[in-house]
């Protein structure tokens, strides 16, 4: 039986460029800017989001506009430059690994994968009164995505510093200051989301009133439902690396 080994990232720029050209030659450019914008909106604005916006009232529209300007635009600029400079299969995993090493890359990959698993598991309990299960799964998914983004967005500044000679067909406007600004905004909002998810009601007069459905008056259970899976995701890359070294 043949042993399949994981593909290592190419360190030779020429080899990377050759592989990238070969892969891009297989693709057909079918989607334009308008298509991409519509796909992004459809991915973010889903039925449950519309319900939450309607419940929050008119002020929610203002906050959506603020988040769009201070998070989605900076995050889009960061991803655009990283994707143009490193068009390698793996996306955020590759950027995090090139910038901060294997642990960071594995952490990002696990965060995105298990966030998707948590969301995919929601319909499995449909039809029952499982408000606690739904709240924990949805909140955990958001926390994992925010945690992964805390590693992905700073990769822009790190890779600009460590690989300044790398061709960048698209660059964040404003030079180093612009890159630092969009990185700070995207990373700062991700940190704020993670803090708000881990401690609902943060900064309010009555934090207990903001606990998700199913956890009213039971902050300890809610915190454990988040911290235990997060701790497992944080520890997994180190455990996997040790197991790989032993082999």
Per residue in 6-16, pLDDT (tens digit) is 444 445 556 76
Closest CA to 172 of 188, 189, 155: 155
For residue 117, is it within any domain? yes
- The torsion angle over the Cα atoms of residues 85, 159, 36 and 114, rounded to 10 degrees, is 130
208 belongs to a structural domain:
yes
Q: What is the reported pLDDT for 3?
A: 47
pLDDT at 44: 66
Which pLDDT does position 113 carry in this prediction? 92
Separation of alpha carbons 108 and 89, rounded Å? 14
Which two three-digit tokens encode residue 145?
A: 């995505």
Domain membership flag for residue 130: yes
Is residue 16, in this structure, part of any structural domain at all? no
The answer to whether residues 225 and 136 touch, using CB atoms and an 8 Å cutoff, is yes
Location of structure tokens 């990238």 = 20
**Are the beta carbons of 104 and 234 closer than 8 angstroms?**
no
34 backbone dihedrals φ, ψ, rounded to 5°: -65, -40
Query: Which pLDDT score, from 0 to 100, does residue 134 have?
Result: 83
pLDDT in the model for residue 19: 76
Q: Does 8 map to a domain?
A: no
Is 0.95 topped by the overall pTM?
no
Q: Which of 8, 68, 69, 77 is nearest to 44 (CA)?
A: 68
Element (H, E) at 150: helix 131-152
Residue 190 maps to a domain: yes
In a domain, 27, yes or no: no
**Positions of the chain with pLDDT under 70:** 1-14, 16-17, 29, 33, 37, 41, 43-53, 55-56, 122-129, 241, 243-247
CA distance 82 to 95: 7
- Nearest one of 26, 40, 22 to 80, comparing CA atoms: 40
Backbone angles phi, psi at 82, to 5 degrees: -65, -40
Q: How many helices (H) and strands (E) does the chain have?
A: 11, 0
Both tokens assigned to 205: 């007069």
Count the residues in the chain: 247
The gap from C-alpha 60 to its chain's centroid, in whole angstroms, comes to 23
Q: How many domains is the chain partitioned into structurally?
A: 1
Are the CB atoms for 83 and 95 separated by under 8 Å? no
Residue 96 contacts residue 105 (beta carbons within 8 Å): yes
What tens digit of pLDDT does each residue of 59-100 get?
777 887 888 888 988 998 999 999 999 988 888 999 999 999
pLDDT of residue 212: 84
Q: Which domain holds residue 80?
A: 34-246
Q: How many CA atoms lie within 13 A of 158 on its CB side?
A: 13
Answer whether residue 156 is part of any domain: yes
**First vs last C-alpha separation in the chain:** 18
């Amino acid at each position: 039986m043949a042993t399949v080994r994981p593909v290592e990232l190419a360190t030779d720029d020429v080899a990377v460029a050759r592989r990238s050209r070969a892969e891009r030659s297989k693709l057909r450019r079918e989607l334009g800017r308008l298509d991409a914008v519509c796909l992004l909106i459809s991915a973010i604005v889903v039925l449950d989001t519309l319900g939450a916006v309607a419940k929050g009232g008119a002020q929610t529209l203002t906050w959506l506009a603020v988040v769009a300007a201070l998070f989605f635009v900076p995050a889009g600029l960061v991803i655009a430059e990283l994707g143009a400079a490193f068009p390698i299969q793996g996306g955020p995993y590759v950027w995090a690994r090139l910038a901060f090493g294997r642990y960071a890359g594995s952490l990002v990959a696990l965060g995105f994968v298990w966030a998707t698993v948590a969301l995919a598991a929601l319909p499995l309990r449909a039809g029952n009164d499982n408000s606690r299960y739904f709240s924990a799964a949805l909140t955990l998914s958001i926390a994992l995505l925010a945690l992964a983004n805390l590693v992905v967005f700073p990769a822009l500044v790190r890779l600009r510093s460590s690989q300044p000679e790398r061709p960048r067909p698209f660059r964040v406007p404003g030079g180093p200051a612009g890159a630092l600004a969009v990185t700070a905004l995207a990373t700062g909002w991700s940190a704020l989301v993670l803090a708000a998810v881990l401690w609902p009601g943060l900064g309010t007069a009555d934090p207990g009133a903001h606990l998700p459905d199913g956890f009213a008056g039971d902050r300890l259970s809610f915190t454990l439902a988040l911290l235990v899976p997060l701790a497992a995701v944080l520890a997994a890359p180190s455990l996997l690396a040790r197991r790989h070294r032993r082999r």
